[in-house]
Structure 1
Amino acid sequence: MAPRERYREIADDLRKRIREGEWPPGQRIPKTIALSAEYQAARGSISRAIDELEAEGILLSTPRRGTFVLAQRPRRRVSRVPRVYRRRLAGYSFGATAPGEVWVNHIPPFRSLEPIPARAAELLDVAPGTLVLRRRRVTSPEGEPPFGLSDSWIHPEVAAEAPKVAEQGAPGGYLDAIEAVGHGPLAWQEITRARTPDKEEASLLGIPAELPVVEICRVAVSASTERPVEVTMTVVPADRIEVVATVERDASARYEVLSPPGGRPDHGKEP
């Protein structure tokens, strides 16, 4: 049997064994040398089979610890056009939050001055590498694995105008502070793309580095200067989200009966 066919056969069997509960979520599967002996296959075939299941988000290999079964991740359906919500005590909120749903932090939220990466710098209209205030959080609905890693970058000029943006508080509170110093009402533009995560993102989200992520960039624009004042970049594992949008009819696509039931179109027929 060809090596390629052999590793796929092993991957199919491992997938079946995991699905049937032989190794529950969080448990480490046998080492490569043990699986090689069990399947009477080369270690290279075992490694390729494991790589395939990692790419599917079924397994996760960690250095010096082994390969573990990942918990099944619930998928969330997010409706678009995007909508911003305003709650009196919690401030602004965006995204996949359902009314009354409790979201939790998987790491303590923190703020720090960091060199801004190129993508965020482009959207915030600052030079890459500029020291910018970053607010970071990793969140999910209560009881679920990490759903999103969010980095909010606040323009240095705005951070100087509104020092409260560096304070810890309600998730949307720093946006209130930006609006209060003369930039309100903020307007937002959202940009979405797919990409692969970097090592830090994959580690914080608990996903294989090969699993694609959906990157949602939300740019807040000042009402007074019409310039970007804040950029939030949220990274979500691609297996956790599906986006649903309602298709609206343009005036050119208005509905009309083109022919009588069971008949032919009355083209050219006088009324």
Structure 2
Amino acid sequence: MAGYREVAARIRRDIEAGEWPTDKAIPGIDKLRVRYDVARQTANRAVQHLVSEGILYSQGRRGTFIRPPAPAPIVARDRHAYRDELGYFFDRGAQDWRGVGTPTQEVGVPPDDVADLLGVPHGTHVMIRDRAVGPPDATHPLQLATSYLPMALVGQLPVLGAAKTGPGGIYDRIEEHLDAAIDWEETVSSRPANDHEQQQLRIGAGLPVLVVTRVSRVGAQVVEVNRTRMPADRFAVSYEVQRDDTARWPREAERSE
């Protein structure tokens, strides 16, 4: 009797051969059991194994779908903020990306680490703005972005809680209100995708998300924390490596010779 890994390999070969289209669910477990002549449990474990590898993704009762193969990283984040006629952006490769679905705005409690970055006590309510984005022709998002704004600033600038914030978005409104430029600092990390991220980004539980946490400051004041999540296998981080004084060239010993 074939083991689930062997069955997973056979399913993978059939996917690569184009047996099933990527926009329709693959056959259910009972049909797979018959097709590969294995026990139902084996077929189920094989499918779950492929989900964990990122080859398949589950859409609950709608079924299990083939995830399009990952190309070379489609966006290389670097260490620059850019600007065009629509406002600031941080991924040159995603300059033409737009919202997918309807963004939301609500007052809620941020994660404790975000509260620490904002400088507010744990459990304090803040303005939370959620937005999903992707290429112009995307049917589902490739990035999920959440902005957290302190209520003290929202009280001074109520448009930060509005559905439409005008040209340039919240960053232009903040700079206009405070009459000063925003400075940004980003931290990049990764973690397992949660249920919401798996569903929205169409990735399996075995794939991590790349998490970019951006802290926006005007002087010493933190005006926003943005947390953007994206499939880790489709994004890269790129930056120029600069020499510290300790690594200058020519080296000290060679200059003295």
Please name the residue that 1:18 is paired with.
Answer: 15
What's the TM-score, normalizing by structure 1? 0.82
Q: Deviations over 1:221-269 (max 9, x none)?
A: 122xx03110010000112112223333344445569xxxxxxxxx9xx
Query: 1: CA distance between counterparts of 2:193 and 2:142?
Result: 14
Unaligned runs of 5+ residues in structure 1 are 258-266
Please name the residue that 1:195 is paired with.
Answer: 191
Kindly, what percent of the aligned residue pairs are identical? 34
- Following TM superposition, by how much is the alpha carbon of 1:171 offset from its aligned partner in structure 2, in angstroms? 7.2
Query: 2: CA distance between counterparts of 1:242 and 1:73?
Result: 12
- Following TM superposition, by how much is the alpha carbon of 1:217 offset from its aligned partner in structure 2, in angstroms? 0.5
Counterpart amino acid of 1:206? R
Change (3 A) 1:96 1:37: same
Query: Does structure 1 residue 175 correspond to structure 2 residue 171?
Result: yes
Aligned residues of 2:59 and 2:199 also touching (Cα < 8 A): no
Counterpart amino acid of 2:34? A
5 Å matches for 1:148-187?
148-167=143-162, 168-170=164-166, 172-182=168-178, 184-187=180-183
- Following TM superposition, by how much is the alpha carbon of 1:112 offset from its aligned partner in structure 2, in angstroms? 1.5
Query: Does structure 1 residue 221 correspond to structure 2 residue 209?
Result: no
Aligned residues of 1:77 and 1:244 also touching (Cα < 8 A): no
Query: Does structure 1 residue 248 correspond to structure 2 residue 246?
Result: no
Change (3 A) 1:79 1:91: closer
Counterpart amino acid of 1:130? T
Please name the residue that 1:263 is paired with.
Answer: none
Aligned residues of 1:188 and 1:221 also touching (Cα < 8 A): yes
Query: 1: CA distance between counterparts of 2:179 and 2:222?
Result: 10
Q: Deviations over 1:186-211 (max 9, x none)?
A: 21111111011221222222222332
Higher Cα radius of gyration:
1
Please name the residue that 1:237 is paired with.
Answer: 231
- Following TM superposition, by how much is the alpha carbon of 1:110 offset from its aligned partner in structure 2, in angstroms? 2.4
Query: Does structure 1 residue 70 correspond to structure 2 residue 70?
Result: no
Pick the aligned partner of 1:121 from 115, 121, 143: 115
Query: 2: CA distance between counterparts of 1:256 and 1:128?
Result: 50
What's the TM-score, normalizing by structure 2? 0.86
Change (3 A) 1:107 1:140: same
Aligned residues of 2:75 and 2:91 also touching (Cα < 8 A): no
Query: 2: CA distance between counterparts of 1:141 and 1:170?
Result: 21
Change (3 A) 1:96 1:194: farther
Q: CA RMSD in A?
A: 2.4
Query: 2: CA distance between counterparts of 1:202 and 1:136?
Result: 16
Query: 2: CA distance between counterparts of 1:206 and 1:69?
Result: 10
Unaligned runs of 5+ residues in structure 2 are none
